[in-house]
Amino acid sequence: MDRNIICMKWGTKYDALYVNRLYSMVQRHLTLPHRFICFTDDAQGLMEGIEARPLPALDLPKNLPERGWNKLTTLKAPLDDLQGEALFLDLDLLILGNINCFFEAPGEFLIINDWLYPNRVTGNSSIYRFKVNEHADVLDYFIHHQDEVRERFRNEQAYLSQAMFDKGILSYWPDEWCISFKRQCMRRWPLGLFLKPKFPAKAKAVIFHGKPDPDQAILGHSGKWFRPMRPCSWIEKYWG
């Protein structure tokens, strides 16, 4: 079966450097044959080897708060010329070790189990795997019932997780594979004033949801005045 790594870049929050760093990490840590595809509205500056594709259109209301709804278009059928399985990766994550296991793990749809509420259905969609062209119904329902979905679900990952749960195919990655930088690496007050963030030795990937982003964490900027942190030098070893 074909293997695809896909990511998305739209707007101005992340530039081409983030895509290039993700691509470099994948090339170091994925030894299975694969393609690397970036769906984007601006392909300038992307490295050779990255297959840039136009960002699939999704008609969203203007001035809508960013809730990741564009990621649902990965379920479009057909999805460009892709076949087989796709592993979606957010641009702002950090890969620490070999990620072959993300393609080898059993299951039809896999996503990160939420760190704060592990007993809820909603997962974190920084890393999810699915079969290409087999779940267009989830996207179609959103398109035709957008107001209802956005009223019921705060963001794309909440809707996506529930939809796959309702189809009976939702599974989660092993907890130790995907670690939250904010929840599991950063030190609690007052230790954050004196100790750098913990290194998750058993993790495959570190997820930077919310703030800080990797470049901010390297400098010791947490993004919140009430959450002090020391500069995190180990990020530089793996990022890029």
**pLDDT string in tens for the chain (240-residue length):** 799 999 999 998 899 999 999 999 999 999 999 999 999 999 999 999 999 999 999 988 888 788 899 999 999 999 999 999 999 999 999 999 999 999 999 999 999 999 988 889 999 999 999 999 999 999 999 999 999 999 999 999 999 999 999 999 999 999 999 999 999 999 998 988 899 999 999 999 999 998 999 999 999 999 888 889 999 999 999 997
N-to-C CA span, the chain:
28
Q: What ranges do the domains of the chain cover?
A: 3-172, 178-238
Q: What is the pLDDT of residue 224?
A: 85
Is the CATH number of domain 3-172 3.90.550.10? Answer: yes
3-class SS at 59?
coil
- Residue 192, Cβ density class (10 Å: 0-12 exposed, 13-18 middle, ≥19 buried): middle
Q: What is the pLDDT of residue 144?
A: 96
Q: What is the pLDDT of residue 220?
A: 94
Q: What is the pLDDT of residue 1?
A: 74
Q: What is the pLDDT of residue 117?
A: 85
Question: Which 8-state DSSP code applies to residue 89?
Answer: E
Q: What is the pLDDT of residue 121?
A: 96
Place of tokens 């564009």: 70
The pTM is what? 0.96
Amino acid (1-letter code) at residue 117: Y
What token pair was written down for 25?
């990490």
Around Cβ 218, how many Cβ atoms within 10 Å?
Answer: 16
Residue pair 52/38 in contact (Cβ under 8 Å)? The answer is yes
